[in-house]
Amino acid sequence: MDISLQGRAALITGGSDGLGKGMAIRFAASGADVAILARDPDKLEAARADIADAGSGKVAMLSCDLLDAAATNAAFADAEEALGKIDILVNNAGTSRAGPFEDITDDEWAEDLELKLMAAIRLCRAALPGMKSRQWGRIINVLNIGAKAPRPVGAPTAVSRAAGLALTKVLAGDGAPHNVLVNALMVGLIKSGQWERAHENSGSNDSYDVFVQNMSDDRGIPLGRIGETEEFSNIACFLASDQAGYITGTSINVDGGASPVV
Ligand SMILES: NC(=O)c1ccc[n+]([C@@H]2O[C@H](COP(=O)([O-])OP(=O)(O)OC[C@H]3O[C@@H](n4cnc5c(N)ncnc54)[C@H](OP(=O)(O)O)[C@@H]3O)[C@@H](O)[C@H]2O)c1
């Protein structure tokens, strides 16, 4: 299937690294104009160059901390101005914070919900009017398989992600009469910047490939390996395209079979 995003404009949060950067490259290669949002301007600049190499459309950068509501709203307005419109919104920025329940403070709960839920809510609220008026839109919420199958040490992220799943369903119903389709991608373990940093910080003499293979073995992933970034961005690109025009209000596990539930 030839997937084209020609003429579309996408905003991808967390687009400077990992899965977000992978999606930005894939979308650009498929013809989209792309805006990437993250905090670190140097990482944004490095990603911008790779994304520009992948396609011939516009690439905009937004340095913004999604924990700041006013900055988030301003960044959306800047993205819209830079690209002329936002047809595709990917709420991807996040961290994989999780630990023993009794150790998690109120501040840590609040920060996790702010970054993973409230930032997505604010960006959806900003994006929907334009999508509805043009009768075309795609929102993709990047979540975690723990949203449906939380582990005992899955908080706070599994709780924030479960709320993201409910948000996905609410917005799918809201957007459907306007051809705005809203879906979630449930990540298991996929190669990304966060695992490269974890490998660097581990002090291990193992190569990155051995490090991530050990992670996969520890989790017992049925396909026997961690996912490739491109395997994730391919499915995101499909959901962002016209070809996915009859899919809304659902979630897809991208996890090599790791989730115990569909
Ligand atoms: N990869 C996996 O195996 C996996 C597993 C489960 C869930 N996920 C989820 O998938 C998404 C992408 O993960 P990833 O593995 O690609 O992570 P990553 O490599 O660490 O990239 C995270 C991106 O988010 C940005 N970001 C983080 N905090 C931000 C903030 N407060 N404001 C704005 N931008 C922020 C980062 O840039 P700056 O640091 O410069 O802001 C970076 O661009 C996340 O939501 C993550 O929780 C991934």
C-alpha 253/C-alpha 262 separation (Å) is 7
**In the beta sheet, which residues pair with residue 227?**
190
Short-list 186, 181, 24, CA closest to 87? 181
Given the CA of residue 64, which atom of ligand 1 is nearest to it? 33
Mean pLDDT (the chain, rounded) = 97
C-alpha 191/C-alpha 227 separation (Å) is 6
Q: What pLDDT is attached to residue 98?
A: 87
CB distance 217 to ligand 1 below 6 Å: no
In the chain, the DSSP E strands lie at: 9-13, 33-38, 59-63, 88-91, 137-144, 180-187, 251-254
Domain 9-190+228-254 belongs in CATH node 3.20.20.70:
no
Region 247-251 average pLDDT:
98
User: Would you list the domain boundaries of the chain?
Assistant: 9-190+228-254, 191-226
Residue ID of nearest Cα to ligand 1 atom 3: 189
CA 229 from chain center: how many Å? Answer: 12
**Residue 165 burial by Cβ neighbours in a 10 Å radius (0-12, 13-18, 19+):** middle
Measure 86 CA to ligand 1 centroid, in angstroms.
21
CA 123 from chain center: how many Å? Answer: 13
pLDDT in tens, 203-224: 999 999 999 999 999 999 999 9
Measure 1 CA to ligand 1 centroid, in angstroms.
29
pLDDT in tens, 122-163: 999 999 999 999 999 999 999 999 999 999 999 999 999 999
What's this model's pTM, rounded to 2 decimal places? 0.99
CB distance 63 to ligand 1 below 6 Å: no
Hey, which of 26, 50, 96 would you mutate to test ligand 1's pocket, going by the most ligand atoms within 8 Å of its Cβ?
A: 96
Measure 95 CA to ligand 1 centroid, in angstroms.
5
Residue type (1 letter), 198: A
